[in-house]
Amino acid sequence: MIVFPNCKINLGLHILRKRADGYHDLETVFYPVRFTDILELIPDRSTNDQPVTYSQSGLEIQGNPLDNLCVKAYQLLKKDYPALPPVKMHLHKVIPTGAGLGGGSADAAFSLQLLNDYFKLELSTDQLLHYALSLGSDCPFFILNKPAYATGRGELLKPVSVDLTGYTLVIINPGIHVPTAKAFAGIRPALPEKSLKEIIAQPVSSWAEELVNDFEKPIFYQYPEIAAIKDELYRAGAVYASMSGSGSTVYGLFTDGKPLILNLPPDYFIKVLPA
């Protein structure tokens, strides 16, 4: 069985406060994007005594493959469903990693759903959300995979009406890895004057003035080449441009359908697709 885990962008991101448990409360709007990895699962009927055999191709993923979230998703379900048979999982990575696009979280969430569907575990959506949260704060979003207003650590989700049909989305990643801890180190939490729910309900043409990602200021200071991408998107005619998550991906929304001309280094990852 094959599935196609998609990525997301953040439409605004406010860091509200630091919590007693060391995490931060935030508010953001997750928006699913039709740009995907490819994940395949088949039963392992070999004499291999490993419960899960994992392989990967495409873009390089740093770290031990056995620590991949796809493997962890299998291991998580195996604890509660010991009869889960051995499997082979292959991930073809297309979404840049460590880029603020949630690709790893999507792979984890889709792994849970894939195992649930293939082996007919009959897990409810609430159960899948519970398992997903134990794999990462962004993972529950990909179980629902619809535009959502997120609070808490990003796991408290409410449906939100956002429709970007007709816009062209341009995703640019400069290949810079921004450690999450380093991104948070430059943040000064504060309550915004206006909720993202109010801003997101306004016309997209107004977002450039009010829809803010709090990570941009410290990240742009540390990595001016990321800031330059946002400037270039606006120069090229974007209606709205922003960094996604804690970076380093920057995206722009375009409406006019004119040929896109960007003055950026040739090694940057650029993807153009319908929003």
The alpha carbons of the chain give a radius of gyration, in whole angstroms, of 19
Q: What is the DSSP letter of 259?
A: P
From 37, 93, 107, 138, active-site residue: 138
Cα gap 156→158, rounded to integer Å: 7
Both structure tokens of 182: 């380093």
| Residue matched to tokens 């319908």 | 274
Cα gap 1→39, rounded to integer Å: 8
From 8, 93, 230, 271, active-site residue: 8
**Residue 8 designated active-site:** yes
Residue 169 neighbours by CB under 8 Å, 6+ apart: 9, 33, 251, 252, 253, 254, 272, 273, 274, 275
Both structure tokens of 175: 């290949």
3-state SS class at 117: helix
Residue numbers annotated as active site: 8, 138
